[in-house]
Amino acid sequence: MPFEPWDDAYARGQVALAEERLSGLDTLPDGVAAARAAQTVEALVGLYGQCLGRITAELAEHPDLLGRLVADELVGHLLLIHDLHPEPVETRVLRALAELPGPPELVELSENAVRIRIQGGGCGSAGTEQAVRDAVAARAPEIEDVRVETGRAEGALIPVDALFRDRDRDRDRDRTPVGGGACG
C-alpha cells in the first residue's frame, strides 16, 4: 500500500487526539495499567527519537533536503519534541514573526523567554497579541514566556502628544494681547 500523507488539518487533529489520550491516562481507574501504558508510550517515543536522531545526522550532509523536511509542520514539530530541530530558536522565532502582519519586532530572546513589540494598539491588539503567541508556540514551543508589548507605529501621521501640544499653543496664542508678545 503506497504512503498517503495526512493533510495538515488532519495531522493537527491527530496530535490533539494523542495529547488528549495521553493526558487522560492519569484518570484511568486501574493505576497499574495506566502507568504501564504511559511507560510504553515513553519507550516508543524514545525509540522513535533515536531513529529520528540517526536520520537527521545522516541528513546533515544534505541541508537542502533536511530544510524541506523541517519546513513540513508535522516533521518540524516531531524534531522539536526530540530536540533535534536543526534551526536555532532565534531563527524559528524570527521566521514566525515574519509571517505575521506588521511584522512584530523581536526585542529580546533568552533561553526560554521572548519579548516582542507589536505596532499600534487599539481594538485589534488583543487578537494580534494572541496571534504572536500562537506563532511563537508553533515554531518554538520551548519558549515558555512570550511577552508582547505595544509600541507606537513608526512614521505615524500625527503623534497624539503633538495634537495636545498644538492645541495648547493655539490657546496660549489666543490669550496674547494684541500689540504685545511675540505674535505682534
pLDDT tens string 48-101: 999 999 999 999 899 899 989 888 888 888 898 888 988 899 999 998 999 898
DSSP bridge pairs for 145: 113
CA distance from start to end of the chain: 93
Class of 88-155 in CATH: alpha beta
Task: Return the SS3 of 160.
Answer: helix
Taking the whole predicted model, whether its pTM rises above 0.75 is answered as no
CA distance 53 to 51: 5
- The label of the residue with cell 508510550 reads 41
Max CA separation in the chain (angstroms): 97
Contacts of 141 (CB under 8 A, 6+ apart): 77, 80
Confidence band for 11, pLDDT divided at 50, 70 and 90: confident
pLDDT tens sequence across 140-177: 888 899 999 987 645 444 444 555 555 555 555 555 55
Residue pair 73/9 in contact by the 8 Å Cβ criterion = no
